[in-house]
Amino acid sequence: MTAAPTAAPAAPLVLRGVRHSYGEAEVLHGVDLTLRGGEAVALLGPSGSGKTTLLAVAGGLLRPTSGEVTVLGAPLTGRRDEAARRVAYVLQAGSLIPYLTVEENLLVRRVVTGRRPTPADRAEARRLLEAVDLAARAGRYPDRLSGGERQRACVAQALFTRAPVLLADEPTASLDRARGRAVTELLTAHARDTGAAVLLATHDERALDLTDRTVSIEDGLLRDGH
């Protein structure tokens, strides 16, 4: 037997032949997608094309009807998997806990029960809140934020987890052009600086020049963009 060549490190996120159906209706028809570490990829497609479904399958929120998803080489079979813990999510519906302040909503993502946040945790939470222009809102509760502020808090929350895979579903939907670009820039810089793979779903073509690559989805099928 010959020795196996040194294996390249597994890609942060790989989807192979992923199909998904809601009842009888198949909405993903065999998606193949690989995200490399350090790249930010835009998933562009019109409303109803399958972006949210693809992200939900990639994050373990939905099981594919067939095909497979791996995170750093480990199979993802559900939200409780070890693999799923390596995926951070910016959900369209938001993910802020209402009885925690904005800053606490970040800290709770990484600081496990029983451990107090360190000064370094707090400093990083503050740095991220500053990056999304929410430093002045750090002590507020989510119900006292605007829709755009909530969306930016969710982005900061996902970045704070330092997960190697970050999936963001329309993270700029409630933002004006300048803030939308700032958030896209932040996600791209996060990929570059931390080596994370970032996939952001959007139907907004205005910020595509900021990501490393675009893949388009139409009627549940991918085609490579630029």
Ligand X SMILES: Nc1ncnc2c1ncn2[C@@H]1O[C@H](COP(=O)(O)OP(=O)(O)OP(=O)(O)O)[C@@H](O)[C@H]1O
- Applying CB under 6 A, which residues contact ligand X? 22, 27, 45, 47-53, 203
The residue (of 129 and 183) whose beta carbon lies closer to ligand X is 183
Ramachandran angles phi, psi of 215, nearest 5°: -115, 140
CB of 99 to ligand X, least distance (A): 28
The residue (of 139 and 147) whose beta carbon lies closer to ligand X is 147
What CA–CA distances, in Å, run from 157 to 94, 124, 154, 224?
A: 10, 11, 5, 30
The residue (of 20 and 190) whose beta carbon lies closer to ligand X is 20
Cβ atoms < 10 Å from Cβ of 1: 3
Cβ–Cβ < 8 Å for 164, 195: yes
CB of 100 to ligand X, least distance (A): 27
The residue (of 89 and 160) whose beta carbon lies closer to ligand X is 89
CB of 135 to ligand X, least distance (A): 30
CB of 47 to ligand X, least distance (A): 3
Q: CB within 8 A of 216, min separation 6: which ones?
A: 43, 44, 45, 222, 223, 224, 225
Cα–Cα–Cα angle for 135, 136, 137, rounded to 5 degrees: 90
